[in-house]
Structure 1
Amino acid sequence: MNVVAKTETGRALGDAFAVARDRLPGKGKIADQRREAFEAYERLGLPHRRIEDWKYTDLRALMREVLPLAPAPDAAALGRAAAAVKLRAIDGVRRLVLVDGAFAPDLSDFGNLDKGLSIRPLREVLDAGEDALSAQAFASDTSNPMIALNGAMATDGVVIDIANGTVLAQPLHIVHVASGAAPAAMFTRSLLRLGRDTGVTLVESYLAGEGAKAYQTHDGLIVAIGDDARLDHVRLVEDSVDAFNISSATVTLGAHAHFNTFGLTSGGHVSRYQLTVTCAGEGSNVETNGVNLINGKQHADTTLFVDHAVPHCASREIFRAVVDDRAHSVFQGRIIVRPDAQKTDAKMMTRALLLSDDAEADNKPELEIFADDVTCGHGATTGALDESLLFYMRARGLPEKEAQALLIQAFVGEAIETIASDALREVAIATAQRWLQARA
């Protein structure tokens, strides 16, 4: 018989959960689901390198413990958050701000909603006892310890519904802000449901207020895309240099639906993004693209799982990593083609650019194919900047750092160009340029 001894850290988190339960919204079935999710996390503990999906991101060594739940933001915290939001404001979007894991209506564009658009704080939905909606928002994968922990501890988020036939011209922008109070953990979970024949662009940003240090962000997003609907998704991670960001997203597509997602990670000490996409309706199309720009001792992990469950679906994955100093980039991409998913067209390519002898990039593309009439492929490369191109540019008067920056921009450009919105593409380019300027 295997006996698992609970560590002092495990006991401390268990005590923190017991204390926090009165602060967590939702009673009855939701409270039971939270307890079951936390028990699943306690059984599994922080993931470690002996678990295949976590072999490159050992949270027992990197994070070591889960911090106590962040307190509700006070006026000072909201003030620091407002300054951070203003500094990274994006024009032309409807902003929805979460501060230290709590929805902040005074910092959000919450009024005058478009016809067919509904936005509510998750806490409000849970406290109202809407069992069906609550159950969908808290559907958890208890085999994944970090998703289970998020389900147990989530304090707030947003629930967004888009009615059939509604196409929103204005992007929605969920902004996660750590206010700068004492180091703590923030747990948020959001739900986005697109009806039939709908369209929307969703932006997610992760920011740090002035003085925010060593905090932890634990975020979850659940998305259901209806038949003939389209979701464009842009995700920008600019956490503080000593922060931890452990996030997950689960996306399900209906028939002839389209999901285009792009993620850029340039901040945080340790980050892990887990995205699971299921093509549940025939004719659906998935584009997943991303860039890691990291240096120092940063560790950034992007893990993608695309499940082709039905025939006639297509998916494309493009991932780029630029790694400097002693940083460590991880890309894990798995495409599974189920036995009934004939006529699947799936391709995946990941490339890493190492700027230092001490930089590390682990790329692990995988295909699991159980159907015979498919077109699938994958590839991975790792290398350094082309010395001949650098020499050519320097011979024409460009300083070395400027020449490197131009080559890096060209390297990541293929992924950034997949962003459908011109304005949001410029935002991503500006984020990449800030990283390049800081490196110089």
Structure 2
Amino acid sequence: MTLSTALKTGDLTALPSRRDEDWRWTDLRGLLRTLPPAAPAHDGEVPAGPFAGLADAETVFVNGRRVAETEMTSGVIALRFVALADTASQSASHALVVKPGESLVLLESHEGRAKGYVSDVALDIAVGEGASLERIILVEDDAEAINVVTAEVALAPGARFAQTVLTSGARRQRIETRVSHPGAHADARLDGAYLLDGQRHADQTTVVTHAGVDGTTSQLTKGMVTDQARGVFQGRIVVSPGADQTDARMGHHALILSEKAEVDAKPELLIFADDVSCAHGNTIGALDEQAIFYARQRGIPEAEAKAMLTVAFVGEVVERIEHDGARAIAAAWVAKKLGSPE
């Protein structure tokens, strides 16, 4: 059951619902009573994206259609999915292969420049032996949009994959990443940050399956919800039989800044091997009132103090971004979302 299938067939029963364990907090069937018409082709200019000026090449999808593409297997590339049609549906798919020994930075953006759209994006990513890929994803959807982004990532021995998701949510939003990890000295880092207000919803779901010996995974997700927003984190690390000497770490930490906001978290370690080092942590709480008090004593208004503390809280995720330009844009995006001076 997927949104993609529903958009292709028009069959609403293909939508995932709360009866599906992995979708119980991101119910699409109960929300979508009708599917909007397909988005029309766009033949006009496309506004610049959030990573403008950083990439050596750019692939652009507008309303689900590819309008520009430059083939590259190394360097820095931008991958943009732009919604420019109100109350319309769009779907897109893209495959990316990083050749053995190559190094690539993927600056991926999902840009909601329309109202009330439904979007589904599927990515197929392969990172070759000894290759490296850093994927930075910035998602800015319309408040009434529905958006599902699913990435299937296959790592070869000795490959390195690093990912950071930054999102402000939507009416319903799910960013899902599934990693096939071979062990064999391959390394995966999966990070994320969600900053939600109003009635926005964001679901960050990851599954990493270790299939062989000597693999590492590190994961850190942080979030903030206020007003009536809802954040969802589902992280699952599977250590298959025989995947000895796996080193896997997962952490999710969230701030709830209003009584009506909600965070649902489900970190999981499924371990079927003996000689492993695995751990996970999960905390959900509020800002430190004492820190806010000290800031106010120094003449800082309460709203600004809360923004500064939240920026510092999320900053650990931002600082783990390796690409300098992308890290600077991410830091500015966080500061703007939280109303804090940069």
TM-score, normalization: structure 2?
0.93
3-state SS of the aligned residue for 2:30? Answer: helix
Q: Residues 224 and 251 of structure 1 are in contact (CA less than 8 Å); yes or no, is this contact kept in structure 2?
A: yes
2:250 to 339, 344, 348: 348
Q: Which residue of 1 aligns with 2:40?
A: 71
Q: Is the contact between residue 121 and residue 148 of structure 2 (CA under 8 Å) also seen in structure 1?
A: yes
- Contact conserved, 2:183 with 2:243, CA < 8 A, in 1? no
Matched, 1:101 2:6: no
Matched with 1:337 is: 239
Code of the aligned partner of 1:50: R
Q: Residue 322 of structure 1 corresponds to which residue in structure 2?
A: 224
3-state DSSP of counterpart to 1:60:
coil
Q: Secondary structure at the match of 1:48?
A: coil
Per the alignment, do residues 253 and 314 of structure 1 end up closer, same or farther by CA in structure 2, a change over 3 Å counting? same
CA contact (8 A) 1:185 1:216 kept: yes
Counterpart check, 1:406 vs 2:303:
no
Deviations 1:114-164, CA, capped at 9 Å, x for gaps: xxxxx2xxxxxxxxxxxxxxxxxxxxxxxxxxxxxxxxxxxxxxxx6x3xx
2:163 is the counterpart of 1:249: no
Deviation (angstroms), 1:66? 3.2
Q: Say if 1:403 and 1:182 are closer, same or farther in 2 by CA, change over 3 A.
A: closer
Q: Distance in 1 between matches of 2:31 and 2:336?
A: 26
Q: Residues of 1 paired with 2:167 and 2:64: CA distance?
A: 20
Whole-angstrom CA distance in 2 between matches of 1:369 and 1:281: 14
| 8 A contact 1:227–1:281 mirrored in 2 | no
What is the aligned counterpart of 1:361 among 247, 257, 263? 263
Give the aligned partner of residue 206 of structure 1: 110
Change over 3 Å in CA distance of 1:269–1:44 after alignment to 2 = closer
Tell me the secondary structure at the aligned position of residue 214 of structure 1. coil
Match of 2:204 in 1: 302
Does structure 1 conserve the Cα–Cα contact (< 8 Å) formed by 2:12 and 2:29?
no
Q: Pick closer, same or farther for the CA change 1:267–1:330 going to 2, 3 Å.
A: closer
Contact residue 54 and residue 325 of structure 2 kept, 8 A: no
Q: Which amino acid aligns with 1:319?
A: T
Q: Which residue of 2 aligns with 1:434?
A: 336
* Shift, 1:206, TM fit: 1.1
Distance 1:89 1:373 in 2: 42
Report the counterpart of residue 46 of structure 1 in structure 2. Answer: 15
Secondary structure of residue in 1 paired with 2:151: strand
The Cα offsets for residues 202-249 of structure 1, whole Å up to 9 and x where unpaired, read as 01111133xx11011110110011110000000000111211111100
Question: SS of the residue aligned with 1:305?
Answer: strand
Alignment match, 2:97? 193
Deviation by residue 1:149-195 (Cα, 9 ceiling, x = unmatched): xxxxxxxxxxx6x3xxxx42xx111111111x341111110100111
Deviation for aligned residue 1:43? 9.5
Aligned to 1:152: none
* C-alpha displacement of 1:379: 1.2
Equivalent in 187, 192, 205 of residue 290 of structure 1: 192
- Which residue identity lines up with residue 80 of structure 2 in the other structure? V
Structure 1 stretches of 5 or more lacking a match? 1-9, 18-37, 111-118, 120-159
C-alpha separation in 1, matches of 2:107 and 2:180: 21
User: What SS is found at the alignment partner of 1:289?
Assistant: strand
**Bigger share in strand:** 2
Query: Normalization by structure 1: what TM-score?
Result: 0.73
- Provide, for residues 333-357 of structure 1, a one-character-per-residue CA deviation record: whole Å limited to 9, x for no partner: 0010000100000010101100101
Which of 30, 33, 53 is the equivalent residue of 1:61?
Answer: 30
Aligned residues: 336
Partner SS for 1:62: coil
- Offset at residue 422 of structure 1 (A): 1.2
Equivalences for residues 36-185 of structure 1 within 5 A: 42=11, 45-74=14-43, 78-79=44-45, 82-83=46-47, 85=48, 88-93=50-55, 94-105=57-68, 110=70, 119=71, 162=73, 167-168=74-75, 171-179=76-84, 181-185=85-89
Q: Does the aligned pair in 2 maintain the 1:237–1:268 contact within 8 Å?
A: no
Cα 1:267–1:382 change in 2 (3 A) is closer
1:65 Cα deviation from its structure 2 partner: 3.8
Higher gyration radius (CA)? 1
State, as a whole percentage, how many aligned pairs show the same letter.
Answer: 39
CA–CA separation in structure 2 for the residues paired with 1:286 and 1:229:
12
Q: Distance in 1 between matches of 2:122 and 2:67?
A: 18
Corresponding letter in the other structure for 1:54: W
Shift of 1:44: 5.7
SS in 1 for 2:212: coil
Take 2:67 and 2:127, find their aligned partners in 1: how far apart are those partners?
26
